[in-house]
Structure 1
Amino acid sequence: MADWKDPEIAAVRGLLAAMPDAPATEGLTFAERRPGMDAFGDMAPLPEGHVYEAVTFAGRPAERHTPPGADPTKVILYLHGGGYCLGSPRSHRGLTAQLAHSAGAVAVTPDYRMAPEDPYPAAVDDALAAYKALLDEGFAAAKIVIAGDSAGGGLTLATALAARAAGLPQPAGLFLISPWASMTPTGVSYEAKLATDPMITGAALAEFAAAYLGGKADDGLASPIRSDFTGLAPMLIHVGSEEVLLSDALAVAERAGLAAVPVTLEVWPEMIHVWHAFYGFLGAGRAAIAKGGSWIAERLS
């Protein structure tokens, strides 16, 4: 067993090990796993005075978050993770609220369609529709940041690519947390970090990828690292050093650099997949949210 320097991440690992109903549990259908992931979100503390409400947005259920003192002209479009098969605005309510609070902006989290019931490209279509809806509401593109974790990070990239293809202006920035950006495993971390990643396995990724693709071709929106990033918005990438998906984040940063897109890549030592979500127990999670929020606030200024 590794001797972790951060005692809080060791405690989080212990918490994960004691959760038999975690979303990655084998033998359950995706529909059976979803309530467990939503329940995890219910435990997340919200900032004092934070207000969220259920809304219909771009024809889909969604949540709108309004932190105290937030600038109503600035907005985060938050795309939740969960392998394109799990998760919801509810599961990511706390993380969305904390990020919006840190950035001083409102946030919208769409309940985009998920696989296997609605495979690719349903999620991309819904996320692009949500971005268009923000523009139609009167938000300037320069006052919108798209953010997402895990599959939501890949979806953030896909949304920016789809917006470019549709002739829409790019948002002010893209904040990618532990992005899953390739349906086909590539990079050394897929092997090198298997023993230290407590959340993701190669078998699970293959299961989620097959469900998401639903037999369709693995193209440059399903796997954004296959695409040319020319003209995309500036990016901030957060990834933990102990993630199987570390290589995806590195590949995204390389793609951005090759396309002359401003990109900041932060690899956080000892951290696991989307450690931000454990902010209630983990100081590094709170620090990462604060850094992400500051970056978003700067992009929206």
Structure 2
Amino acid sequence: MSTIQRARLDAQLRDAGAVVGADSEPSVDEIRESFAKLMSSMPVPEGVRVDETVLGGRPALRVSPDTTAGPAAPAILLYLHGGSHVVGSPRTALGLTAGLVIRTGLPSISLDYRLAPEHPFPADVQDVVAAYRDLLDQGYAPESVAFAGDSAGGGLTISGALAARDAGLPAPAAIVAFSPGLDATRTGRSMTTKADADPLLDRAALDRLSSLYVVGQDRRDPLLSPAVTADLTGLPPLLVQVSTNEMLLDDARRLAQRAADAEVDVILDITAQVPHVFQSFTHVLDEAGEALDRAALFLRQHVRT
């Protein structure tokens, strides 16, 4: 456990302030620019090739191991970036996506799904289903496709899989969710008990961005709050990674319990005293790389290649 690293990172994030501050109301464009600037500082491992592509009618980045070109890979990761459903892109999640690609040896397609407020719920969920359907139509077997994502994208791995199930599509091989947002009702105890411990997220900012995404929808909709109301029956094995310092801690805890109640294989992987989506900080935090190693092992165990 890297106590000094964790304490130093926590202090740095607090000095820099949350990605979206509670004391002002910047425009959506300003929030997007600030988030992109923060994420551009995250390392992208060497040994990957990045190509623009299209999946399910949406732009995407294909991130592949940088090896001699050969036959199409028999398995693939569908990656969904974070950003509260309002900010972010495949570029902002490139470090995480590439980290999984390097560790698993599997290519990934990171989806540029539609964002609020221009496209509120359920546009992004529909984009995930369309992307997964496109992969199946291309000939990928469901047992060779895994969903992975962080923060809001982590939540979309669950909501997208549920919507795909309800559309009659087969379940993917596995789901990996980093610090997922899974409760639009914001009723988890950790939203209050971890408010001071969380150096990155801010309740007022989360509520503002959530209002842009949810608009007039019922926040108890299973696709908005799967940790609260969803029937998770039929989902594939899940790995959920989260930190004890996160306001979203109870989103992960409650989802894991619902998954177990639905007879779904689930691993709840909790790391102490690290920030939201700590897996991004591989350059300054030993636990980040170690968590990605565990996620890669989980994927290799469940995805057919």
Specify if TM > 0.5: yes
1:131 aligns with 2:128: no
Identity %: 38
2:252 to 244, 249, 254: 249
Native 8 Å contact 1:174 1:236 kept in 2: yes
* Larger displacement relative to structure 2 (38-47 or 131-140): 38-47
Native 8 Å contact 1:38 1:91 kept in 2: yes
Native 8 Å contact 1:74 1:106 kept in 2: yes
| TM-score normalised according to structure 2 size | 0.93
User: Residues 36-185 of structure 1: matches in 2 within 5 Å?
Assistant: 36-68=34-66, 72-185=73-186
Q: Give the aligned partner of residue 234 of structure 2.
A: 231
CA distance, structure 1, for counterparts of residue 43 and residue 139 of structure 2: 31
* 1:149 counterpart letter in structure 2: D
CA distance, structure 2, for counterparts of residue 36 and residue 95 of structure 1: 19
2:268 to 265, 270, 274: 265
1:17 aligns with 2:19: no
SS state at 2:66 partner: coil
The structural deviation recorded for 1:130 is 0.9
SS state at 2:168 partner: coil
State the 4+ residue runs in structure 1 displaced beyond 3 angstroms.
23-26, 68-71
Number of paired residues? 298
Q: Give the aligned partner of residue 199 of structure 2.
A: 198
Q: Give 5+ residue unaligned stretches, structure 1.
A: none
The structural deviation recorded for 1:21 is 7.9
CA distance, structure 2, for counterparts of residue 159 and residue 276 of structure 1: 22
1:291 aligns with 2:294: yes
CA distance, structure 1, for counterparts of residue 10 and residue 17 of structure 2: 13
CA distance, structure 2, for counterparts of residue 286 and residue 159 of structure 1: 26
Q: Give 5+ residue unaligned stretches, structure 2.
A: none
Q: Give the aligned partner of residue 35 of structure 1.
A: 33
* 2:8 counterpart letter in structure 1: A
Native 8 Å contact 2:50 2:62 kept in 1: yes
CA distance, structure 2, for counterparts of residue 275 and residue 126 of structure 1: 26
SS state at 1:52 partner: strand
* Larger displacement relative to structure 2 (9-18 or 275-284): 9-18
* 2:240 counterpart letter in structure 1: I
Native 8 Å contact 1:68 1:101 kept in 2: no
1:6 aligns with 2:3: yes
Native 8 Å contact 2:223 2:230 kept in 1: yes
Native 8 Å contact 2:198 2:276 kept in 1: yes
The structural deviation recorded for 1:150 is 1.0
The structural deviation recorded for 1:24 is 4.6
1:222 to 221, 224, 233: 224
* 1:266 counterpart letter in structure 2: D
CA distance, structure 2, for counterparts of residue 189 and residue 196 of structure 1: 10
SS state at 2:99 partner: helix
Report the aligned-residue RMSD: 1.8
The structural deviation recorded for 1:49 is 2.2
CA distance, structure 2, for counterparts of residue 193 and residue 20 of structure 1: 16
CA distance, structure 2, for counterparts of residue 8 and residue 202 of structure 1: 25
SS state at 1:18 partner: helix
CA distance, structure 2, for counterparts of residue 199 and residue 119 of structure 1: 24
Native 8 Å contact 2:18 2:199 kept in 1: no
